Amino acid sequence: MIKNLNKFVNIITFLVIIFPSIAFAANRPLNMTEARSGISEENVRIVLQFDSVPTYQVTADPSGKNIRMDFSGVDAARAKNNVAVDGDIVQSVDITNTQSGCNVLIALNQAVPYTVNTLQNPARVFIDIKRYYEHTTKRSIESGLDYTAYDRRNADGVLKAYILDIDPSKFELIPVLGGGRTLGKNTVSNMVHYYNAEAGVNASYFGGQKDVYGLTKIDGTVATTTYLARTAFGMDTAGKAIIGIVNYSGSVHTKNGDFPISGVNCDRSADTIVEYNSFYGNSTGTNEYGIEYVVQDNKIVRINTNDTALRDGQIVISAHGVMKDALSGMKVGDEMTVNEDLGDIWKNAVQIVGVGPQLVKDGKVDVTADDEQIGPDVTGGRAPRTAAAIKADGHVMLVVVDGRQSQSSGLTLNGFAQLLIDSGAIEAVNFDGGGSSEMVIGGQITNSPSDGMERPVGVALAVVKKK
């Protein structure tokens, strides 16, 4: 009996000793043993390491800029409360013990997507925070000329953009040909240097050495024409910027009648009349199967068969086939007048670069690529882009975005239009893009051309200080 009683007492004593130990072990908190962070190209990762994965809850405040992670039954005393942050996205990480465990408060500079996951061996809870950001750096180059560098990462990718804000009361915007004042191809740096300009960007589409696919007007004289009605950018005699459709219509008036001009400074095809001027180069380069009239002050001053010399102040009317026959009998001293119509809005324009499509109209996205028969080489996908835009205050913006690079994925035409609107554009026109997209300021290339070097182009638009 006594033996059994002693046995019972021993069992009770064992339970008294063991059960508190079990209860203490069951209530003993988990430890957060380490807190650290890491940065990749796309994410900031904050890693919280534990004895084992705890129960947790994640919430964000209405602004989306403060993320709270609550951990039940966790002691965070061993974890450092000074987790390194990148500064662009994550502002701070604060770890605090509470009565029920601990919480981690992550303060962001802006609301961005994030995901939370767990890993074992060792036990970790980690949060990946998207490295979305939007930075602008502004500086005044001089009075009336301001520069903004724009840098962002969001769900659409990474982007770098370069924006010039130009006061047209203080600066002219002048088209520059590859040869300066003659057709050709050259780098934007060299073309800007030709005018000793403050800045410049690439402008028109181009092909061969003298092929410009768009209408160009320089100091009041048409330098190139196009066969399609497309959107152009220009400046009038009052220094006001213009964006709209330009469509060349030309004719030559003679005693024999009025005859259509097929183009300016382009190859002469069969049965046509082409006008040449000094922007084309030293001579017309035509063959002997036509006739050419040198005109000065609306009078024929010389008649030639082919490859006529081109001089300032003169034009050459070059005719072939049926048009050659139509002008037969014209003599030196006869009147010959050229009439040109570019559309009503261009009557007072002295500088024009015709490119397209339109991107922004009345402050809204309005991409007219189909109407202007712009091909998929321009409209397709994300690419480097260049544009000219007009703001509500009359200032002009020249904008370049990098593309096809790890640091900038480029933009679609619609995305580009929206960026221009966000930057203040109420009207905008697309310029040539891709490897041609380039901005030069103070003789230095500002952007990162996607070719890895400057691409020679046909036409640039220079920003020249008014005298």
Residue type, 168: P
Domain contains 361: yes
Domain that includes residue 110, residue range = 28-131
- pLDDT above 80 (res 148): yes
In Å, how far are 31, 32, 71 from 28, measured between CA atoms?
A: 9, 13, 14
Q: Residue 14 — very low, low, confident or very high, per pLDDT cuts 50/70/90?
A: very low
Q: Please give the pLDDT value at position 80.
A: 78
State the average pLDDT for the chain.
Answer: 93
Q: Last residue of a domain, which of 131, 157, 190?
A: 131
pLDDT tens digits along 404-459? 999 999 999 999 999 999 999 999 999 999 999 999 999 999 999 999 999 999 99
In a domain, 21, yes or no: no
Percentage of residues of the chain with pLDDT beyond 90? 87
The per-residue pLDDT for 87 is 80
- Choose between 24 and 218: higher pLDDT: 218
Give yes or no for a contact between 177 and 465, defined as CB atoms under 8 angstroms apart. Answer: no
Ranges 24-38, 51-65, 113-127, 173-187: which has the least confidence: 24-38
Q: What is the pLDDT of residue 467?
A: 87
Say yes or no: 75 and 170 in one domain: no
Does a structural domain hold residue 3? Answer: no
pLDDT band at 19 (very low <50, low <70, confident <90, very high): very low
Residue ending a domain, among 336, 352, 385, is 336
19 is a domain residue: no
Type of residue at 29: P
- Cα(409)–Cα(156) distance, rounded to whole angstroms? 9
Total number of domains constituting the chain: 3
371-389 per-position pLDDT tens digit: 999 999 999 899 999 999 9
The tens digit of pLDDT for each residue in 170-211 reads: 999 999 999 999 999 999 999 999 999 999 999 999 998 999
pLDDT for 22 equals 40
Distance CA 337, CA 448 (A): 47
104 with 153, same domain: the answer is no
Q: What is the pLDDT of residues 253-269, one digit of tens each?
A: 999 999 999 999 999 99
**Number of Cα atoms under 13 Å in the Cβ half of residue 153:** 15
Do both 325 and 459 map to the same domain?
Answer: no
**22 lies in some domain:** no
- pLDDT exceeds cutoff 90 at 353: yes
Q: Are residues 120 and 214 in the same domain?
A: no
Same domain, 238 and 356: yes
Do 282 and 359 fall into the same domain? no
Whether 404 maps to a domain, the answer reads: yes
Whether residues 395 and 435 fall in one domain: yes
Task: Read off the pLDDT of each residue in 357-367 and give the average, rounded to a whole number.
Answer: 98
The verdict on residue 14 lying in a domain is no
Say yes or no: 261 and 325 in one domain. Answer: yes
Q: Which of 336, 355, 378 is the last residue of a domain?
A: 336
Cα distances from 162 to residues 152, 387, 408, in angstroms, run: 12, 11, 12
Q: What pLDDT shows up at residue 7? A: 53
At 103 the pLDDT is 95
**Same-domain status, 226 and 319:** no
Same domain, 219 and 367: yes
Least confident of 77-86, 111-120, 337-346: 77-86
β-pair type (273-276, 263-264): parallel
Q: What is the CATH number of the domain that holds 53?
A: 2.60.40.3500
| Cα–Cα dist 294/290, whole Å | 13
Q: What is the pLDDT of residues 52-76, one digit of tens each?
A: 999 999 999 999 999 999 999 999 9
Query: Within this chain, do residues 237 and 383 fall inside the same structural domain, yes or no?
Result: yes
Same domain, yes or no, for 310 and 440?
no
Residues 206, 208, 212, CA angle at the centre, nearest 5°?
A: 30
Mean pLDDT of 18-33: 59
The H or E element that residue 337 is part of is: strand 337-341
Res. 9: pLDDT tops 50: no
- Cis peptide bond N-terminal to 29, omega within 30: no
**Side-chain half-sphere of 233: how many Cα atoms within 13 Å?**
32
Query: How many angstroms separate the Cα of 272 from the Cα of each of 83, 275, 318, 340, 386?
Result: 76, 10, 8, 16, 35
| 174 located within any domain | yes
